[in-house]
């Protein structure tokens, strides 16, 4: 029986499709976003923090040995603990993917006159002395702390890192940090501090979650971003990497939030921070 060429073509095509399908099923898809568990994000934060401590030229840490610097550190850390308490308890997440409730989300102050602030995937928060000197009242620093904590907890920061370096790299870094050079660590830190980008629509989402966090964790006014925008310009790293959007104040006013205070200052920021800088 003679078989036409079209028959053989169809047979070969079917064969190759089956082979390709089998190969795809057998191929390892690699790490997925859910593989970057909060435990691995905590590990990433510890690894990057160690890299910061080993880079005193780029990240000179404020001397905690003096009384004044110690007071500043303790005050900012106390506010951050307060802002992140509900996040760290993490009761709404699956048991196998929760933040360690007893782990402090560490604040580190960088002795640098430039104005910047950034976070790592673990919630470790870094702010420059220059930025602290620009802030005048408690509700301003509280907004900044709550904003960064929301940025970390809601995975906006992690998504940026994943888009830049890939899930595989981040998982591998968390599991095998010794295989990465100091230069690789420096590149990631520079990205977090200076180059990470957020769309204005994402900033609006973070703003909404930040206002809710402030309202449930403090007596402070939720409009602490307003004076921060007045002191920062687009050439400064925090404002540049976390851009504003149109009608921001009106948007914050429109949020249906109860329980928010209208406290802008208790005098503590002046006493604990500005008087000791």
Determine the pLDDT at residue 11: 41
Q: Cβ atoms within 10 A of the Cβ of 168, count? A: 13
Q: What is the pTM of this model?
A: 0.88
Q: Tens of pLDDT along the chain (277 residues)?
A: 454 555 444 444 444 445 455 544 445 567 777 889 999 999 999 999 999 999 999 999 997 778 889 999 999 999 999 999 999 998 888 988 999 989 999 999 999 999 999 999 999 999 999 999 999 999 999 999 999 999 999 999 999 999 999 999 999 999 999 999 999 999 999 999 999 999 999 999 999 999 999 999 999 999 999 999 999 987 888 999 999 999 999 999 999 987 788 899 889 999 999 999 9
Task: Judge contact between 121 and 157, C-beta under 8 A.
Answer: yes
pLDDT, residue 262, reads: 87
18 token code pair: 């089956």
Taking the C-alpha atoms of residue 11 and residue 164, their distance in angstroms, rounded to an integer, is 43
Helix (H, G, I), strand (E, B) or coil at 195: helix
133 burial type by CB count under 10 A (0-12 exposed, 13-18 middle, 19+ buried): middle
Q: Minimal CA–CA distance to 140: which of 110, 103, 115?
A: 115
Radius of gyration of the chain (CA): 24
């Amino acid at each position: 029986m003679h078989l036409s060429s079209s028959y053989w073509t169809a047979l070969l095509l079917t064969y190759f499709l089956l082979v390709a399908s089998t190969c795809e099923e057998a191929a390892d898809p690699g790490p997925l976003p859910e593989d970057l568990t909060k435990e691995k994000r905590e590990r990433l934060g510890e690894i990057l923090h160690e890299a910061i401590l080993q880079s005193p030229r780029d990240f000179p840490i404020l001397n905690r040995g003096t009384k004044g610097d110690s007071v500043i550190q303790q005050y900012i850390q106390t506010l951050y603990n307060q802002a992140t308490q509900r996040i760290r308890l993490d009761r709404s997440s699956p048991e196998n993917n929760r933040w360690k409730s007893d782990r402090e989300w560490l604040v580190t102050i960088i002795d640098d006159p430039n104005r910047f602030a950034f976070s790592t995937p673990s919630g470790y928060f870094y702010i420059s002395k220059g930025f602290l000197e620009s802030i005048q009242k408690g509700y301003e620093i509280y907004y900044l702390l709550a904003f960064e904590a929301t940025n970390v907890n809601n995975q906006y920061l992690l998504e940026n890192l994943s888009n830049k370096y890939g899930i595989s790299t981040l998982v591998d870094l968390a599991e095998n940090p010794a295989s990465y050079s100091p230069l690789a660590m420096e590149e990631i830190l520079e990205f977090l501090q200076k180059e990470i980008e957020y769309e204005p629509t994402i900033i609006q989402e973070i703003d909404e979650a930040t206002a809710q966090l402030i309202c449930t964790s403090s007596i402070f006014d939720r409009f602490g971003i307003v004076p921060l925008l007045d002191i920062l310009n687009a050439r400064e790293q925090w404002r540049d990497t976390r851009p504003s959007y149109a009608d921001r104040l009106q948007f914050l006013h429109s949020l249906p939030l109860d329980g928010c205070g209208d406290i802008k200052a208790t005098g503590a920021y002046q006493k604990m921070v500005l008087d000791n800088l």
